[in-house]
């Protein structure tokens, strides 16, 4: 296993680009090293409380070392910058000793001080000719002048903790002949995955769910624009409508490449050029940008481009290439695909809205229990909302899922089978009513009583039928009192919601009472047998 050491400081420009948070900065490096099978032998890092460009000798600072057992930074000492620079000399000698003992195969340098704080480490690295990579224009130039084997160097402008870490490890692994694929995810959160199969990270359900706040914000603006005093918001709604593909593109690009700001920039560019393709176009543009970000980033690092240039190429060109392909070739077809799906839905509703509502209501619970809801129904809801700000299936969601769940949990607060169930039901009821989500709160009561389960489906079917009767378009994921205000039929939506809630409430009350009577009868029989 190859071993490397890390030296440096929070830096001047680096301070504003991740250097002021040493744990995150080193966490990214540690994550990439782990993915490459490379061990960190030691760290000497000076973190000042402000940029080194303005820091004084009296500026407070912390000297960090490395804890090999926990694979993280450990605080060695704290004090003024002058005191910390003196204390750093001890680690500098230790690091030089490790290099001369052959226990360090490579060196990562970030805004180091090759004249004082890191002098002996740099001298040892030059003597043994180990590969050195790093950032910090002035310090890296001085390190090169001292004869160190610098294989990759760059400034810090435009870089992030992740892109720097990937660049460092890519350059070192290429030098050593080690196969390495960048690691994506959140260091310390247990979500790290290799980036060698990008298509596997395409998750349409995740993209749709993450973009939902944008659609809800648009629905709120649409509802407010119907009030005479806020009529001017109709123009804001039009702007937000155009922004939705950008939102989806950014989420898709970030999901696939996860290169921090580089992914976001690529997604914004691709999304802006995918507007004519609607939300399907935004998703496709973002996916393309995410795939290209990773490809171009790795290639540019292998070609030894400076990190600033790597980020510009990866973020700018990836977004531009994907966006132009969408703009000239795919956007019209993506838009037509979305329009065709909406056309089919509208035709089904127009043929018989009541039947469509009943069927939708009856199937909504099996859909969410079977894992189909987020994969199929939610995308259709968002496609409907793309143009009108609300949705037929969105109304069924609120009526058939949220209100039914609220009715079941309310019944278990008022008259539970067991006293302990009221405490379980109360939070679920409040979240359903207050936030228009967490329908899973009804699961324990549905799964433990077949009559409650049947009542949930029946209530959703009746509520869906009323949605069809009143031809309601609405949305869930908002407080229950706001649901009708964001719909096209305030009275119709209110009645549909109320009926579904009260029916589920009544069925659950009856089922709970029957269960209590049955339990009491069984208890009496047991008592008689014992006597």
H/E stretch holding 77 reads strand 72-80
For 104-118, 187-201, 207-221, 494-508, which range has the lowest pLDDT when averaged over its residues? Answer: 187-201
The Cα–Cα gap between 338 and 332 comes to: 10
| Separation in Å, CA 346 to CA 21, 253, 281, 342 | 52, 31, 21, 6
User: Per residue in 439-483, pLDDT tens?
Assistant: 989 999 999 899 999 999 999 999 999 999 999 998 888 888 888
Where residue 192 falls among pLDDT bands split at 50, 70, 90? very low
At 10, give phi and psi (nearest 5°).
-70, -15
Task: Please determine, for residue 490, whether its predicted confidence score (pLDDT) is greater than 80.
Answer: yes
All structural domains of the chain? 3-194 (3.40.50), 198-345 (no CATH), 352-524 (no CATH)
> pLDDT confidence of 279, banded at 50, 70, 90?
confident
Contact 288, 306 (CB under 8 A): no
357-367 tens-digit pLDDT:
999 899 999 98
To the nearest 10°, the Cα dihedral for 293, 298, 303, 304? 100
* Res. 339: pLDDT tops 80: no
CB-CB contact of 404 with 411 (8 Å): no
> Residue 187: pLDDT above 60?
no
pLDDT for 300 equals 84
Contact 62, 10 (CB under 8 A): no
- Pairwise CA distance, residues 291 & 46, whole Å: 36
Q: Are strands 131-135 and 149-154 parallel, antiparallel or unpaired?
A: parallel
Q: 63-91 pLDDT, tens per residue?
A: 999 988 888 889 999 999 989 988 888 88
Q: Are strands 106-110 and 131-135 parallel, antiparallel or unpaired?
A: parallel
Q: What is the pLDDT of residues 102-125, one digit of tens each?
A: 999 999 999 888 888 899 999 999
Tell the residue number behind the tokens 């769940």, with chain if given: 405
Q: What's the confidence (pLDDT) of residue 528?
A: 66
C-alpha count within 13 angstroms, C-beta hemisphere, residue 206 = 12
pLDDT tens-digit map of 290-337: 999 888 888 887 787 877 788 888 889 999 999 999 999 998 888 788
Asked if residue 128 has pLDDT above 80, the reply is yes
Asked whether residue 190 carries a pLDDT value surpassing 50, the answer given is no
CA 194 distance to own-chain centroid: 17
Per the CB < 8 A criterion, the answer to whether 156 and 230 are in contact is: no
What is the C-alpha to C-alpha distance for residues 45 and 121, in angstroms, rounded to an integer? 13
Is the pLDDT at 195 greater than 60, yes or no?
A: no
Angle between helices 204-225 and 378-388 (to 10 degrees): 30
């Amino acid at each position: 296993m190859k071993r490397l050491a890390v030296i440096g400081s929070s830096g001047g420009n680096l301070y504003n680009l991740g250097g002021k948070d040493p744990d995150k900065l080193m966490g990214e490096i540690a994550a990439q090293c782990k993915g490459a099978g490379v061990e960190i032998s030691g760290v000497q890092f000076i973190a000042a409380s402000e940029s080194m460009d303005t820091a004084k000798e009296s500026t407070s600072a912390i000297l960090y070392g490395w804890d090999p057992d926990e694979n993280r930074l450990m605080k060695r000492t704290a004090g003024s910058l002058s005191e910390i620079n003196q204390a750093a000399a001890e680690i500098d000698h230790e690091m030089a000793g490790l290099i001369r003992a052959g226990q360090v195969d490579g060196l990562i340098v970030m805004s180091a001080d090759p004249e004082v704080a890191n002098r002996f480490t740099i001298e040892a690295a030059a003597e043994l000719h180990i590969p050195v990579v790093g950032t910090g224009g002035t310090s890296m130039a001085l390190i090169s002048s001292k004869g160190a084997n610098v294989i990759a160097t760059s400034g810090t402008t435009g870089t992030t903790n992740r892109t720097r870490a990937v660049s460092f490890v890519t350059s070192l692994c290429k030098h050593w002949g080690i196969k390495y694929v960048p690691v994506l995810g959140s260091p310390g959160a247990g979500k790290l995955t290799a980036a060698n199969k990008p298509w596997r990270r395409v998750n349409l359900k995740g993209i749709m769910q993450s973009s939902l706040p944008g659609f809800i914000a648009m629905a709120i603006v649409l509802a407010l624009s119907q009030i005479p005093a806020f009529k001017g918001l109709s123009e804001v709604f039009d702007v937000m409508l155009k922004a939705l593909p950008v939102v989806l593109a950014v989420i898709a690009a970030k999901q696939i490449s996860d290169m921090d700001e580089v992914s976001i920039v690529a997604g914004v560019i691709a999304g802006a050029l995918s507007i004519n393709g609607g939300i399907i176009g935004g998703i496709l543009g973002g996916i393309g940008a995410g795939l290209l970000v990773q490809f171009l980033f790795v290639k540019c690092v292998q070609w030894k481009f400076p990190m600033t240039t790597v980020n510009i190429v990866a973020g700018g060109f990836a977004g531009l290439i994907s966006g132009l392909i969408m703009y000239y070739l795919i956007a019209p077809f993506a838009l037509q695909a979305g329009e065709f799906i909406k056309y089919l839905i509208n035709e089904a509703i127009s043929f018989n809205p009541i039947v469509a509502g009943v069927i939708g209501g009856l199937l909504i619970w099996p859909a969410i229990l079977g894992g189909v809801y987020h994969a199929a129904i939610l995308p259709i809801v968002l496609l409907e909302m793309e143009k009108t700000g609300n949705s037929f299936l969105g109304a069924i969601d609120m009526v058939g899922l949220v209100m039914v769940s609220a009715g079941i949990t309310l019944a278990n607060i008022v008259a539970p089978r067991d006293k302990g169930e009221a405490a379980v039901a109360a939070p679920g009821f409040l979240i359903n009513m207050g936030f228009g989500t967490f329908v899973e709160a009804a699961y324990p009561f549905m799964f433990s009583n077949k009559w409650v389960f049947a009542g949930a489906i029946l209530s959703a079917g009746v509520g869906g039928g009323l949605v069809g009767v009143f031809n309601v378009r609405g949305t869930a994921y908002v407080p229950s009192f706001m649901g009708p205000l964001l719909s096209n039929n305030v009275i119709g939506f209110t009645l549909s919601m109320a009926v579904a809630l009260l029916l589920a409430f009544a069925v659950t009350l009856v089922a709970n009472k029957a269960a209590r009577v049955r339990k009491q009868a069984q208890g009496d029989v047991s008592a008689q047998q014992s006597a």
